[in-house]
A and B are shown apart, each in its own frame.
Chain A
């Protein structure tokens, strides 16, 4: 099966006074239809910028400096800006973190949705509203016809996020980038949305890239995981394997710092130090200063080890048990 989204060597950098800062560094991953890829990392690891880069929504002073973004084999980056715009929302859609902010507060839900339908399809307003109502039904919103007339502030946070997901689904895109869509929600609502997203991926065959800092959420939702650190993907592979047997010391640190029910009372280990500033990265492996396994060889660029779907970027990977 060919990939719905295939990202190859994507590099995004930002011009600053002290030179270029590379927020996304040679990132490659692919997602097949109906699969969910978890893109995990701390704040500032470049995971959101990766999401925006896939849609081509990087504004100056940022620029996508290299790589390919293939959506069902079609390279976004080779298209004109106008053709890219026609891809957005139709073939590749995005859902944002804070549902309080993503809907326009002064426009009715139905009007916003109708606008999103009609920008890509020449249909009447009433036909567009009918499509919007269907989309709201798909994401499990009760009484969708009434919600269309509501303003965003009249809906709860979870409801708004469902509306945002419904907007992303309007054109049955091949790919949805979900940028921490449950982070701002209550845990109970979060669970509902996660179940909904899993069902949507299975039923519609949409490929989903789930960007999150929450390893616990990603491990329960995603089929595959990519772990990002300082703009690079340091480890990737099937979710179950990566969680059960991490090979990069950073991934191991992340997993160990998630509280577990199996060992109550255990003191949670944490990764020493903090996320590095992208403008002052050490040479070689960027995780080197915080890594318990680091040696002198880590000052040179780490090799891309591993085979097939399981990769790790490290001089001293942990051995698989």
Chain B
């Protein structure tokens, strides 16, 4: 167990180092931020000063090591656009994205898994067919379009919900979040549903497939021959068995949703990190881009580690060893 964790940590370090190099090179290849930042009419002297101030006159490898040195001291640099430390910038936006993703993942799970279980339990029923048809829509219709449709229906047409923005925030465990106020909830619910649809569709299909397969296995027949009621068979026997692919996809989806909630955030004008990264790419705000992408990598590594640990809890045949993983 300890060996497994150690091995995973070393792997994670290698991934993070490789990723930081790639991101650094990639970002530097896409353009010179000075051209975007300063007035084209500025004098050559101002231009030179600015370049020196950001260290852009040094060779690339030197810039990289300066960056790494700063990161190791906990300093991710300063945004060229906002002129505030990147750490402050990202962490001021992170709660907004986290709460949006949290609500949407909850919706996707609480609706998707029961719906999938039902669709797999009675695969030929009308309700099951309706669920499956909706799930196809869920992950084949573009998110932004559904988002706009939701706005049309509930904000413009019915006027029940605000069309965008984050609303009032309250404090929950010391973190400012809109989940602490009613106004915040009214703002978060529509983008969260929008963001959840893809994952919901995926979870429905995965759960249904697992359920259909499990219901014809011998251990389910044996459980029925023991006189166990179907409800208990589904929740005590089947759910545990089919949870491994579900957890895998759940983990991957959680990571990508956190990192790339950008479409929904743009449609609903949600001030999260997704919008921040798009803005900083447009403005060639290098420190923000690099720090954000490295943060995303760390996030993925953490999620995958958690998924591996959950596997071992769920399936006794999975043994966590220090060897090949």
Residues of A within 8 A of B (CB): 55, 57, 85-90, 93-94, 96-98, 101-108, 115-116, 119-120, 151, 153, 164, 167
Contacts and interface: CB of A to CB of B under 8 A. Distances in A.
A101 B227 CA distance: 18
Interface of B: 217-219, 221-229, 232, 236-237, 240-241, 314-317
Given A87-B227, A106-B315, A115 B232 contact: yes
A57 B222 contact: no
B241 A164 contact: no
A116 B228 contact: yes
B222 A88 contact: no
A27 to B, nearest CB: 19
A116 B222 CA distance: 10
Contacts of B314: 106
B225 A101 contact: no
A153 B318 CA distance: 11
B218 A96 contact: yes
Given A103-B219, A151-B316, A94 B225 contact: yes
Contact of B241 (A55, A105, A167): A105
Given A106-B315, A151-B316, A119 B218 contact: no
28 contacts: A57-B221, A85-B227, A86-B227, A87-B227, A89-B227, A90-B227, A94-B225, A96-B218, A96-B225, A101-B219, A102-B219, A102-B221, A102-B222, A103-B219, A103-B222, A104-B223, A104-B237, A105-B315, A107-B236, A107-B240, A115-B226, A115-B228, A116-B228, A119-B227, A119-B232, A153-B316, A164-B222, A167-B222
Contacts of A96: 218, 221-222, 225
A86 B224 CA distance: 10
A181 to B, nearest CB: 12
Q: Which 9 residue pairs spanning A and B have beta carbons closest together?
A: A89-B227, A101-B218, A88-B227, A89-B226, A94-B225, A151-B316, A102-B222, A116-B226, A104-B219
B316 A167 contact: no
A101 B241 CA distance: 13
Contacts of B236: 107, 115
Nearest to B314: A106
Contact of B317 (A85, A105, A116): A105
Contacts of A85: 227, 229
Among B225, B232, B236, residue most surrounded by chain A Cβ atoms (within 10 Å): B225
A85 B223 CA distance: 11
Contacts of B241: 104-106
B156 to A, nearest CB: 47
Given A106-B315, A151-B317, A119 B237 contact: no
Given A106-B314, A153-B316, A89 B225 contact: yes
A93 B222 CA distance: 9
A88 B218 contact: no
Given A107-B240, A151-B317, A153-B317, A119 B222 contact: no
Contacts of B317: 105, 151, 153
Nearest to B318: A106
A97 B221 CA distance: 12
A167 B226 contact: yes
Given A101-B218, A104-B241, A119-B232, A93 B316 contact: no
A93 B226 contact: yes
A10 B225 CA distance: 19
